[in-house]
């Protein structure tokens, strides 16, 4: 297996949850430089990166992946792209799918065209999700998603990610682009926007509020620590086979009710804090990832996702970093860009 090294990465969506964890991780573990291209949509938060802002290997560029000229200019400096930028919240896609098509589908296509016109030598890792495979039944625990499973997305979010995956594959086949796709299960860890279940529940409880649990709480997700995900993406970037898809998972299936009870227990709260709410429309029942391929071919497996210790650590991060999530919940995080970069955020 050959290992590629890179001097400068273009990271799209690096101000979001996984992208910012990835930038911290890659700067701490590799002698690379990073350009972070992010449009700072509602989920982009530069406070996630305040600790490395002064690092001369890091540069933030405020811009949209739909801006082809900007992408072409930035690609001149970079030898690889790790593509996180996307609308990422299923509930928002149910309310309005258009931003998902614009960023996830058209934005990815713009990035692919920019890569095409900047030469064939730049590697792309497209960060996707297990949600493109659709849903598994609860009563067949032996079934898991593998890389050859059919693409059967159910939510507009998952459909937009599936469309972007297919575009990436088509540009690899048609134009020979050096592109790889990762499909990961649900992530948890620091800097996750508090609309997603773990930070929402922890911060609600810290505010004395109840936690809204969808439907019967039996939906199952496979939870992976975000730093395990970051390490897997870096492994795929450095060692992956061009044109391949790699599933990434934690082998850590939990029902939403089990997750909720674990959070309540860690925080010393009782079941009276659960508020059962109407189920999400089209709510996928179960996701489960078969991550044998990345283990067998590239030697990656998770090391940080042991349960419940890793969950306890994450809960503690939100307990210890109340300024961070209170700024998000109050909207004050939007001022950080102006304070640091002297410009007002006018979009999104």
Ligand X SMILES: NC(=O)c1ccc[n+]([C@@H]2O[C@H](COP(=O)([O-])OP(=O)(O)OC[C@H]3O[C@@H](n4cnc5c(N)ncnc54)[C@H](O)[C@@H]3O)[C@@H](O)[C@H]2O)c1
Smaller CB distance to ligand X: residue 214 or 269? 214
- Catalytically active residues are 130-131, 157
Smaller CB distance to ligand X: residue 90 or 273? 90
Residues 6+ apart with CB under 8 A from 168: 108, 112, 124, 126, 177, 179, 181
Interface stretch with ligand X, choices 64-72, 207-215, 235-243, 322-330 (CB under 6 A): 64-72
Binding mask 182-211 toward ligand X (x if CB under 6 A, else -) reads --x-xx-----x------------------
Question: Which helix (H) or strand (E) is 236 found in, with range?
Answer: helix 226-239
Smaller CB distance to ligand X: residue 88 or 256? 88
DSSP 99-148: HHIIIIIIHHHHHHHHHHHT-S--EEEEEEEGGGG--B-TT-TT--B-TT
> Are residues 183 and 148 in contact, defined by beta-carbon separation less than 8 angstroms?
no
Q: Which of residues 74-113 bind ligand X (CB under 6 A)?
A: 84-88, 103, 107
* Interatomic CA distance for residues 169 and 143, integer angstroms: 25
Question: Which helix (H) or strand (E) is 254 found in, with range?
Answer: strand 253-255
Contact flag: residue 259 with ligand X (CB under 6 A): no
* Interatomic CA distance for residues 149 and 115, integer angstroms: 28
Six-digit token string for 319: 């307990």
Residue of 122, 161, 172, 286 interacting with ligand X (CB under 6 A): 161
Residue of 34, 46, 64, 228 interacting with ligand X (CB under 6 A): 64
Q: What are phi and psi of 330, to 5 degrees?
A: -85, -15
Binding mask 12-41 toward ligand X (x if CB under 6 A, else -) reads xx-xxxxx------------------xxxx
Binding mask 284-323 toward ligand X (x if CB under 6 A, else -) reads ----------------------------------------
Q: For residue 188, what are the β-bridge partners?
A: 225
To ligand X, the closest distance from the beta carbon of 271 in angstroms equals: 26
Smaller CB distance to ligand X: residue 107 or 240? 107
């Amino acid at each position: 297996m050959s290992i590629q090294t890179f001097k400068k990465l273009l990271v799209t969506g690096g101000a979001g949850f996984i992208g910012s964890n990835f930038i911290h991780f890659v700067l701490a573990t590799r002698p690379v430089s990073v350009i972070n291209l992010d449009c700072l949509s509602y989920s982009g938060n530069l406070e996630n990166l305040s600790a490395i802002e002064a690092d001369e290997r890091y540069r933030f560029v405020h811009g949209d992946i739909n801006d082809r000229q900007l992408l072409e200019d930035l690609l001149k400096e970079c030898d690889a792209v790790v593509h996180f930028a996307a609308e990422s919240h299923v509930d928002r896609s149910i309310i309005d799918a258009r931003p998902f098509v614009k960023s996830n589908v058209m934005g990815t296509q713009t990035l692919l065209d920019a890569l095409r016109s900047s030469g064939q030598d730049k590697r792309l890792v497209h960060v996707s999700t297990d949600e493109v495979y659709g849903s598994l039944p609860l009563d067949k625990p032996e079934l898991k998603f593998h890389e050859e499973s059919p693409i059967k997305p159910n939510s507009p979010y998952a459909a937009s990610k599936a469309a972007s995956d297919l575009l990436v594959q088509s540009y690899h086949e048609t134009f020979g682009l050096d592109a790889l796709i990762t499909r990961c299960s649900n992530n948890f860890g620091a800097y996750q926007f508090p609309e997603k279940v773990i930070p929402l529940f922890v911060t609600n409880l810290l505010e004395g509020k109840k936690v809204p649990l969808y439907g019967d709480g039996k939906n199952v997700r496979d939870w992976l620590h975000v730093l395990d995900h970051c390490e897997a993406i870096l492994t795929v970037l450095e060692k992956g086979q061009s044109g391949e898809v790699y599933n990434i998972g934690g082998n850590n299936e939990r029902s939403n009710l089990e997750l909720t009870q674990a959070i309540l227990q860690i925080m010393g709260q009782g079941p009276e804090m659960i508020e059962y709410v109407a189920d999400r429309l089209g709510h996928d029942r179960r996701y489960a990832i078969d991550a044998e391929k990345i283990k067998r071919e590239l030697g990656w497996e998770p090391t940080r996702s042991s349960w419940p210790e890793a969950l306890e650590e994450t809960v503690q991060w939100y307990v210890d970093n109340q300024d961070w999530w209170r700024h998000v919940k109050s909207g004050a995080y939007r001022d950080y860009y102006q304070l640091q970069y002297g410009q007002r955020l006018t979009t999104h």
